[in-house]
Chain A
């Protein structure tokens, strides 16, 4: 069976005809299988939704109880039969509850990895390598200029700045689902035990992380705080809020931004970031290429991001590769997702 008979890109998203479902559909469909809770992958209005419990919970938090007609939770490692295919979920290491979806039909296995990273993250299950025939990979950071380094070192940069400017507040722009909680967890690992402040848009989702047993120490709402009391503190906020009127409540704030994009100066400067922190929930170039090679897949489909470079690399390694040209997926640090954050706030 040809792989494209199992999974095919369509305007609604990646469609599995023999299984009768779409993966991460961008339009409302009858049956959706969803990799993780970011809003460009997990959208409301589908008939039936299959996802991990965490992803379903996050969708409920974001969209309300009626985000789909029916839902079914599936655990990592569990297998389920849908039509003529079997579907199995594996940890993707991207955010809490994120999964790669292995779709097997007869003797062909395709892994749709969604967004993933092979770097350590104390707030979610570690990425699991799934051997397969066709590997569908993201390419958000699919250029060799993207090497993310150790996130712990970046957090040390933040703490050094807090020590250097005790009279100023530190505002860390971080996507509210996943990145923010990871930065907090890393701060705790580095020994920072003072209360950490949260923008209103982050409270619900961060409480949800805590309810799943992830220790984030003492967290406080920044709402209602006196300006002077915020000197020397760290506040996490959605990226869009760090350039907003909202920042006026802070004493002479230092603006940081935790994102893989911070590798590129123009990005950081344009956003008015003074303290760029290269912390990413996506695999970097080395991570992408190492993962592709390790899956043993002979064919690679590349989607959302820098498809061209990764496709070129795959071909230079003798792999069959093509871009998927799926439309509608951003990376969560970009303006589009930031706008969603504003709506949440």
Chain B
């Protein structure tokens, strides 16, 4: 892998082939007798006025000068090569269906029906969705839980090792790098264990784009030797929503990955998304070190200020324990709120309703404010001051507050079998002991409480009731209020 200082000076990283091709294309003033039908916005003046002429003018179709994402041979291929170089990967793929599509392509590449895959339970729903699609069977490693914070941590090395021993024919191990809260497992050790046992190692780096470009951050999947990774460029990387990268190491065949991606990917990939990936990759390659130093300093400052208010706990590097919290991403700003007597979701709602501050999410015990490339210190001052005000106005006894317990899932059938099996809808209260055939999630963070094929326990029912009371948004089931739930017949 090229070190970041060298990368920033490489002449090829100054280039953005898709962006440059679009600029050339604009100057050619080509007459469009192809799709899209709005024809550079002329056919839809309201949309043109809303988005602006520059923006709608590059909403064009694949064609020879602009390449084609389904089979890239020119400018998209070059952009992917530059991305691979910047991320230290053997191959990189531009993704336009969100990191969800990158995660799914990654799993569909390595798993077939009946294959086992080892993964932590606090995976994003897209991972289990992929298992529904391909019919693989999840082997869950129970993540450690921080009792005080009520959050799932990383996977311990010995837990991964145990799962590998018990399931020697599993095809891969998947790791969150990091979790939504910024917690990392010992990725290098897990890659090594997987490889020694003939398994691949996959990383969900939806929240880890910056690991590739900043200093003093946890190790990235590619430099840890992982085989594939899904990277949310649109989160910390600054590209447009829905754009993402799929990375692969030298051990996975690029042509096969492309075939898998093409199974579900649109054949009309948006040039807005692709050029945003291209320009953002260039920005990070050239300026990523300074950008993420700024973000990290801002997060560290915010943590110090929030911890000075008292009762709030903005956690950081001190959580590191060499194993379940092998590393912590210092750019993340999560705050434990239970000691002021408010659930995270309540603080989240108050910040928005009373203070016009929108943060990423609130769960039962914590909030997460997303800091990135675009943040300013004066906005951080507002956030900290608003938190101090919420404490002054609403502080109450924390007794009776529930934190998020980890509930170990009991997998009865594969997600795919359960999803497609004959099922019936029954009232939630009567569902104890039955096998669920749908997802139940608290959103965000979008980590399943129940996945298809899992047994419904009393703990799970209690959790759903409490989370609903606190105002969490529950998603997944057919019945949006989850009064009824689908179970296997």
Is chain B found bound to chain A in the same assembly? no
Binding site for A on B (CB under 8 A): none
Binding site for B on A (CB under 8 A): none
